[in-house]
Amino acid sequence: MSDNHVTGPPVLADSSGHGDALENLMHENRRFSPSDEFISGAVAGPGLHAEAEKDRPGFWARQARELLSWDRDFTQALDWTDPPFAKWFVDGQINAAYNALDRHVENGLGDRVAIYFEGEPGDTRTYTYARLTEEVKKAANAFESLGVTKGDRVAVYLPMIPEAVITMLACARIGAVHSVVFGGFSADALRNRIEDAQAKLVITSDGTYRRGKPSALKPAVDEALKAEGHTVGHVLVVRRNNEPVAWTEGRDLWWEDTVDAASAEHIPVGHDSEQPLFILYTSGTTGKPKGILHTTGGYLTQTAYTHQNVFDLKPDTDVYWCTADIGWVTGHSYVTYGPLVNGASILIYEGTPDSPHQGRWWELVEKYKVSILYTAPTAIRTFMKWGREIPAKYDLSSIRVLGSVGEPINPEAWMWYREVIGSNAGKHGEQKDNPAPIVDTWWQTETGAIMIAPLPGVTATKPGSAQTPLPGIVADVVDENGQSVSNGHGGYLVIREPWPSMLRGIWGDPERFKETYWSRFQDMYFAGDGAKKDEDGDIWLLGRVDDVMNVSGHRLSTTEIESALVSHPSVAEAAVVGAADETTGQAVVAFVILRGTAAEDHDIVRTLREHVGKEIGPIAKPKTILVVPELPKTRSGKIMRRLLQDLAEGREAGDSSTLADAGIMGTITESLKKGV
């Protein structure tokens, strides 16, 4: 199966996970214009679109020069002579860490808070820009002393603690390429990523805290490095929860002995604009996760530009909180790079939203006077379930911009976000006259930064729509043949022109890069999402049209989970679908055919869930595993997941006329009723 394989017309299949969402969406006609007050103070004005349309590379060149400090100016904004391999800001030299740190200190902002940190147990730390710069310099010296040099890969397996940001920036400073692996991924997943990137150094912690209890991380690193022949020379361990850890002498080092002891003098050098900055693995439609490669100059330009304009950032007064984990691209672009390059004050919170109580986030907003909040629909829907009286107990009056990312936001969640969070003007039920604008931001690991979103002082927002490509971005919705659809119609979301923060490739596999993203439609980047243009030409995202599921805003591949299931000796065959789920958007539902006597094992479902957790990570564990005698297949042997999805979502199965065995759906339904 090829990577760009499309499983069905997106306008028919609503994979956004909200039942009749598509129909409802198209009848959504509420509009919320920005207030006069917001417009008059807004960072982004309507002129940006016009400027970008006139001369796109020139527009980006201006952003690059105004938002960033270059060690050597670039000679050309874009080199697109060898598509799809783009070079942005050609010949430029720049240091990402200098841009995120030193230059703010040189500009007299050393005392501004860069990071407010709140640990799950309630411990706090504050890093000013001066202190953060010093910490990053020490880390850069320490990494160099461990033999890490420009171009080397560093695997990062850390919780949401300041050392995660320090590590990323220290790598960037010395030109090393970080590969952050989400702490919720298993030892096997970590080993695969370490091997694929041939990492030299791993940075981890003893662990973290989860719902009031210590939770371990280092054992997974030990497990991942058990096999001979890996490339890792050292494991640097941050002490976080003080739990005892196993120790490999000569390989393992404590952060406090190594980094804290290093010199705080470190002179940054400019790296080529196209110097690799990081690799981040993401799920595609084939089994093996892809290492998405991002480089320096273009990535920094677009993350800083979008962070400033989409969130209307006023860095001297705002407190910005993006709730994403650094294990995801949102944590790269909108926890670390965009905000710090822009000199913002950010909040980092280590734990879960319900620890020790379900008001923890709102308590943090009140405590730190968070003014910009950026989170995911799955979190909003969870808060909806917990009840509006919880946030109402807190003073959220500081909030002035709200962001959403990760999956389509259904209009109900959008309205709740606006009314309950964006309108709160105090803990006694006071309401704002002008609720905070909501920006629904569409983008991907591959796009590096936000691509489609309203501009808060410009766009009249619509609940549930990401609306307009940002100035400088040329996105479109096209039909099967790559023709632009007219307003009121649906199709496939594509990007027509290169953009600065676009992925530069898949680590170690240039062919797969072309094949995956650039072969479905000629000369266009195909994102994997279905979308629709409404009567105004605004874009509504409808979810993935390939075999990628979106569970709580996390990308999971059906094929990857299927491979994990069939790797268990009891499983003969498996098919996985994403079924609509009220809270998580989609939930993983697996249909399995068991081997031999495995069906007699009463614990088999639990065993298989654990097995997937071990192979990929707890987030990939199927919510439901259904044991079936057969799977519906076409004559060419392709599993018809659409039919299984109907079953998983409690519907009558749809058209099964292309099945090799027409009676199969009846057999499956019967067996599910009886229990095999």
CB of 567 to ligand 6R9, least distance (A): 24
442 binds ligand 6R9 (CB under 6 A): yes
Strands 585-594, 490-495: pairing is unpaired
CB of 555 to ligand 6R9, least distance (A): 5
Is 408 assigned to a binding site? Answer: yes
Task: Give the CB-side neighbour count of residue 569, counting CA atoms within 13 A.
Answer: 2
Is 411 assigned to a binding site? Answer: no
Distance CA(127)–CA(283), nearest Å, equals: 34
Are 325 and 183 in contact by the 8 Å Cβ rule? The answer is yes
Is 407 assigned to a binding site? Answer: yes
Nearer to ligand 6R9, 243 or 582 (CB): 582
Is 445 assigned to a binding site? Answer: yes
Residue in 25, 1, 14, 10 with CA at minimum distance from that of residue 462: 25
Nearer to ligand 6R9, 117 or 383 (CB): 383
Residue in 618, 54, 641 with CA at minimum distance from that of residue 352: 618
Residue 77: what are its φ and ψ, rounded to 5°? -70, -50
Nearer to ligand 6R9, 529 or 534 (CB): 529
* Interface positions, 317-356, toward ligand 6R9 (CB under 6 A): 328-330
**Which parts of 164-238 are beta strand (E)?**
177-180, 201-205, 207-210, 213-216, 234-238
320: which 2 tokens? 């910005």
CB of 323 to ligand 6R9, least distance (A): 13
467 binds ligand 6R9 (CB under 6 A): no
Nearer to ligand 6R9, 258 or 330 (CB): 330
Binding mask 197-216 for ligand 6R9 (x = CB under 6 A): --------------------
Distance CA(208)–CA(205), nearest Å, equals: 8
* Interface positions, 553-572, toward ligand 6R9 (CB under 6 A): 553, 555
Nearer to ligand 6R9, 303 or 398 (CB): 303
Which of 445, 459, 467, 584 touches ligand 6R9 (CB under 6 A)?
445
Which of 113, 202, 527, 626 touches ligand 6R9 (CB under 6 A)?
527
Q: How many CB atoms lie within 10 A of CB 512?
A: 18
331: which 2 tokens? 């944590």
Q: Is the dihedral of CA 649, 653, 659, 660 positive or negative?
A: positive
CB of 520 to ligand 6R9, least distance (A): 14
Is 317 assigned to a binding site? Answer: no
Which of 196, 529, 538, 615 touches ligand 6R9 (CB under 6 A)?
529
Are 113 and 126 in contact by the 8 Å Cβ rule? The answer is yes
Measured N-to-C along each axis, helices 664-674 and 641-648 cross at an angle, to the nearest 10 degrees, of 30
Nearer to ligand 6R9, 273 or 447 (CB): 447
Which of 173, 544, 568, 609 touches ligand 6R9 (CB under 6 A)?
544
Stretch that binds ligand 6R9, among 151-159, 264-272, 417-425, 521-529 (CB under 6 A): 521-529
Distance CA(609)–CA(528), nearest Å, equals: 28
Angle (nearest 5°) at CA 590 between 587 and 593 = 175
Nearer to ligand 6R9, 289 or 353 (CB): 289
Only one residue has tokens 């042997």, namely: 637
Nearer to ligand 6R9, 515 or 630 (CB): 515
CB of 494 to ligand 6R9, least distance (A): 12
Is 442 assigned to a binding site? Answer: yes
Is 330 assigned to a binding site? Answer: yes
Is 441 assigned to a binding site? Answer: yes
Order of all β-strands in the sheet with 490-495: 475-478, 490-495, 525-533, 539-544
Q: How many CB atoms lie within 10 A of CB 602?
A: 8
* Interface positions, 133-192, toward ligand 6R9 (CB under 6 A): none
11: which 2 tokens? 């306008």
282 binds ligand 6R9 (CB under 6 A): yes
Name residues whose C-beta falls within 8 Å of residue 464's C-beta, 6 or more positions apart in sequence.
Answer: 25, 28, 408, 409, 410, 411, 414, 440, 540
Nearer to ligand 6R9, 128 or 301 (CB): 301
* Interface positions, 381-440, toward ligand 6R9 (CB under 6 A): 405-408, 440
Nearer to ligand 6R9, 128 or 558 (CB): 558
Nearer to ligand 6R9, 25 or 626 (CB): 25
Is 211 assigned to a binding site? Answer: yes
Are 219 and 252 in contact by the 8 Å Cβ rule? The answer is no
Which of 361, 443, 507, 521 touches ligand 6R9 (CB under 6 A)?
443
Angle (nearest 5°) at CA 252 between 248 and 253 = 140
Are 445 and 505 in contact by the 8 Å Cβ rule? The answer is no
Which of 187, 197, 396, 466 touches ligand 6R9 (CB under 6 A)?
466
CB of 153 to ligand 6R9, least distance (A): 20
| Secondary structure of residue 156 in the 3-state scheme | strand
Are 546 and 285 in contact by the 8 Å Cβ rule? The answer is yes
Is 328 assigned to a binding site? Answer: no
Number of residues that bind ligand 6R9 (CB under 6 A): 24
Distance CA(203)–CA(190), nearest Å, equals: 12
Stretch that binds ligand 6R9, among 98-106, 128-136, 145-153, 522-530 (CB under 6 A): 522-530
Q: Indicate the Cα dihedral angle 646, 652, 653, 655, nearest 10°.
A: -130
Distance CA(219)–CA(326), nearest Å, equals: 20
Is 276 assigned to a binding site? Answer: no
Distance CA(437)–CA(451), nearest Å, equals: 18
CB of 444 to ligand 6R9, least distance (A): 4
Is 595 assigned to a binding site? Answer: no
| Secondary structure of residue 277 in the 3-state scheme | strand
Residue in 338, 345, 408, 303 with CA at minimum distance from that of residue 132: 345
CB of 294 to ligand 6R9, least distance (A): 12
CB of 328 to ligand 6R9, least distance (A): 6
Is 529 assigned to a binding site? Answer: yes
Nearer to ligand 6R9, 88 or 328 (CB): 328
Nearer to ligand 6R9, 64 or 527 (CB): 527
Is 478 assigned to a binding site? Answer: no
Is 388 assigned to a binding site? Answer: no
Run of H or E residues at 153: strand 153-157
Run of H or E residues at 125: strand 124-128
Classify residue 488 as left (phi > 0), alpha (psi -120 to 50) or beta: left
Nearer to ligand 6R9, 436 or 631 (CB): 436
Binding residues for CoA, as ranges, are: 210-213, 330, 552
Binding residues, as ranges, are: 210-213, 330, 406-408, 440-445, 529, 544, 552, 555, 566, 568, 571
Binding residues for ATP, as ranges, are: 406-408, 440-445, 529, 544, 555
Binding residues for Mg(2+), as ranges, are: 566, 568, 571
Summarize as ranges the residues that interact with ligand 6R9 (CB under 6 A): 282, 328-330, 405-408, 440-445, 466, 527-529, 541, 543-544, 550, 553, 555
